[in-house]
A and B are shown apart, each in its own frame.
Chain A
Amino acid sequence: DVKVTQSSRYLVKRTGEKVFLECVQDMDHENMFWYRQDPGLGLRLIYFSYDVKMKEKGDIPEGYSVSREKKERFSLILESASTNQTSMYLCASSPGGSHTDTQYFGPGTRLTVL
């Protein structure tokens, strides 16, 4: 079974702090994604990556950056956390290399910024 793990289930940070969210997948997937999920707004794509050291902006990249130094690991960085970044953050991976891609999600990190 594909396993996608996220470094924390719950995280509380203060405004202005730098926040790292880590995601690791164990199935050699090419694609990795970061979403945030908010009530009434659904899943929104922040960034995605099709390959190591490669990244592309999603629909809401402002205030975020990402890093993919190794194929299995995709990190989301909040350079200076703000209260409006309080949300559920979901990481996903997909095999890539084909025209249809099922995404496998991690358990999520619920981030609260005070």
Chain B
Amino acid sequence: SQKIEQNSEALNIQEGKTATLTCNYTNYSPAYLQWYRQDPGRGPVFLLLIRENEKEKRKERLKVTFDTTLKQSLFHITASQPADSATYLCALGTNAGKSTFGDGTTLTVKP
């Protein structure tokens, strides 16, 4: 069956370090992959999208990689700040416009 796994439910890092979050999937051939941020009590907010034929995408301090051979995406936040603390969700999308979400990883950046 299709499965999406995001690394550890919680990730704690020190301010200024790079946070790396992992999204692995099985039995799935996504056309694209998205990362969302979710703060407590709020809906997810879109951050980045990467297509199956792209290896890497950047936006300010954010970087996403997508390896369709390993069936894995890595999400990096460089020079992390306490304001980056949130839950981050990966979502695999098909050309039909529907996405399947992972459970999320909760990131805490300590000052």
Using a CB–CB distance below 8 Å, which chain A residues touch chain B? 4, 31, 35, 40-43, 45, 48, 50, 90, 92, 94, 96, 98-108, 110
CB closest chain-B residue, reference A4: B43
Q: Say whether A106 contacts B31, CB under 8 Å.
A: no
Known pairs A90-B44, A102-B46 / 15 extra A-B pairs, C-beta < 8 Å: A42-B89, A43-B89, A48-B98, A92-B43, A98-B97, A102-B49, A103-B44, A103-B46, A103-B91, A103-B99, A105-B43, A107-B42, A107-B43, A108-B41, A108-B42
**Measured between alpha carbons, how far is A114 from B51 in the docked complex, in Å?**
44
B7 to A: closest C-beta gap in Å: 14
Using a CB–CB distance below 8 Å, which chain B residues touch chain A? 31-32, 34, 41-46, 49, 51, 89, 91, 93, 95, 97-104
**Measured between alpha carbons, how far is A105 from B44 in the docked complex, in Å?**
6
CB closest chain-A residue, reference B47: A102
B64 to A: closest C-beta gap in Å: 14
Q: Which chain A positions have C-beta within 8 A of B42? A: 107-108
Contact of A42 among B45, B49, B51, B103 (CB under 8 A): B103
CB closest chain-A residue, reference B101: A43
Can you offer 12 A-B residue contacts whose CB atoms are under 8 A? A35-B101, A40-B103, A41-B103, A42-B102, A43-B89, A100-B49, A101-B93, A101-B97, A103-B44, A103-B46, A105-B45, A108-B42
